[in-house]
Amino acid sequence: DGVFFSKPLDISIYVIDTNNEVPVIDFPNEVHVKEKSLIDTVIKKIVTSDLDRDEPFRTVNCNFASDTDPDCQIEFYIDTNVLKVKRNKTLDRDKGRKTYPCLFECLDNPLNVRSQGQNKANKSFTIILDDINDHAPVLMTKDLQCSENLNKDGEVGEGIIGEDIDDGDNAKIDFSVLSIVDKETKNDIQESFNISKIDSDYVLNDTLKKVHLIAFEDLKGKYGTYEVTLHMHDEGDPMQTTDPDPTLTLTIEKWNYQTPSIIFPENDQTYIVLSDQQTGQPLALFNNTGTSNTLPDFSATDGETKDCSKWDVKFSYTQTNYEDDKIFVIDHIQPCVSQLQVSKNFNSDLVRSKKYKLTITASVKDGAEQEGEAGYSTSANISIVFLNNDAQPIFQNSDWSVSFVEFNTTQPAKPLEEQAEYENTKGGLPIYYHFYSENQTLSKYFEVDETSGDLSVIGNLTYDYDQDISFHIVASNDSQVRMLDPRSSLNVTVNFLPRNRRAPQWKSTKFFGAVMPTFVTGNLIVTAQA
């Protein structure tokens, strides 16, 4: 048999690595960086691994993918697998983007050694800009309105809104009131208000915050326009304070507690004016004395103050007849005082003896009152009559007879049955009646009522001597007796009626007669006279 010999032989077998493993990326889905960070600020290192054994198959390089959001490559870059800031000025979350969705890819075997190819892994993630407190709050509310009838604890307007475009605590705003100054009187009523924060509506959104201005007491009498100065700061670190202190306008509207009252003119009154009037002047009243009496200015009170310091009551009018005659205007000359004047359309020839009916309205403000308010307006009806200055009332009949009982000063006055009137008018005008006689003694026995014309006996006259007495009643346009027109004089005849006011009187204290023997029944003895 043959003999075999064996000897161990060490053989080294080298397994050549191939690039057959895909890189593994260890990177979060979200990374954070502060807005406006400096260029080259490191955001996050990209950690990778590759199970291939040899280099460069296990070497992994990462860069933004070609189809990533373009802004990612504009604002950021990857340097040796480290994500960094590329530009800082545009990284402003308050005015620009707050997040950037990005995509990067990682390749092994960077140089494609031995033509082994490259394995690729992708990673989607989001870069979130964290806020820095770089903005102070801004007051968004410019105006607030309420009424003076707002009671204690009532809310003024719809709230005060501020904006801080930062985020989180940096955007929380604290409000306080520094002053509330009346723009006219300069009075500060800051102590009448308070700021209230209501959790349920404080946060309107990420940037807008709201608080409420609350009345600390009833606001009656505090109407006016105020400048409200606020202090505002956020709750960031470091804190940002609004500078200068912002202001808004607070308007406290007047509330009408009482209806205005007209002082003049009086309701249902007739005012007689001259047919010759001047525009821009008060109406000249009708008279025959040559004086310059004018219609008083219209005046009113606002119902709440004696000097019209709250409401400036203004007058207007409506004309209820002769509507086509646009002859009146009202000139507002001072608070609560106006003047009735004639317009440029006034024509004295067309208005003579006409009686214009006007409704005069005094108003504290236009529009309709709110629920609970007193009426804004009150009215008075007046009439305006235009007459010539020399116009006189006349009687239709020239004679009037009347009877009185003699020797009686207590008997009722006799109503004047023959009333005088102005021509072309239908009553309502002032007429003055006067007693007139050339026998001045008669004025001691008779009296004529100046306004009604009623005739009274004021002295004792007797039937024996004064059976018929005559005199005149004169109608005039003023308190003076004038005989400008004979028709203004009424001839009055007074007939006195006798009355049984005396006891019989004997004509002598003694009467004598004789009885003769021859007398028979029926013979006259004596005659007694009374």
Over residues 91-119, the mean pLDDT reads 91
Structural domains of the chain, with CATH: 24-130 (2.60.40.60), 138-253 (2.60.40.60), 265-387 (2.60.40.60), 399-497 (2.60.40.60)
pLDDT tens digits for range 315-329: 999 999 998 888 999
9-18, 233-242, 290-299: which is most confident: 233-242
pLDDT tens digits for range 209-221: 999 999 999 999 9
The 3-state DSSP class for residue 72 equals helix
Q: What does the alpha-carbon distance between residue 492 and residue 399 come to, in Å, rounded to a whole number?
A: 6
Query: Given the DSSP bridges, would you call strands 468-476 and 432-436 parallel, antiparallel or unpaired?
Result: antiparallel
pLDDT tens digits for range 440-487: 888 898 899 998 999 998 888 776 666 688 999 999 877 777 777 889
Cα distances (Å, whole numbers) of residue 371 to 257, 377, 447, 466: 11, 15, 58, 74
- Where does the pLDDT of residue 505 fall: very low under 50, low under 70, confident under 90, or very high at 90 and above? confident
- Where does the pLDDT of residue 92 fall: very low under 50, low under 70, confident under 90, or very high at 90 and above? very high
Read out DSSP for 483-525?
A: -SSGGGEEEEEEEEEP--------S-S-------TT--TT---
State the pLDDT at residue 274.
87
For residue 74, report the phi and psi dihedrals to the nearest 5 degrees.
Answer: -75, -40
Over residues 269-291, the mean pLDDT reads 82
The answer on pLDDT for 427 being more than 80 is no
Cα distances (Å, whole numbers) of residue 153 to 180, 181, 212, 450: 17, 20, 11, 65
Question: DSSP class of residue 461?
Answer: -
Q: Among 185, 160, 163, 183, which residue's Cα sits nearest to residue 173? A: 163
CA 365 centroid distance within chain: 6
CA 97 centroid distance within chain: 48
State the pLDDT at residue 7.
84
State the pLDDT at residue 351.
86
Extract the tokens encoding 404: 């009185």
Provide the Cα torsion 100, 103, 108, 110; round to 10°.
-70
Residue 181 bridge partners (DSSP): 188, 227
The answer on pLDDT for 142 being more than 90 is yes
Extract the tokens encoding 285: 């009243």
Q: What does the alpha-carbon distance between residue 426 and residue 423 come to, in Å, rounded to a whole number?
A: 8
pLDDT tens digits for range 106-134: 999 988 888 888 899 999 999 999 999 99
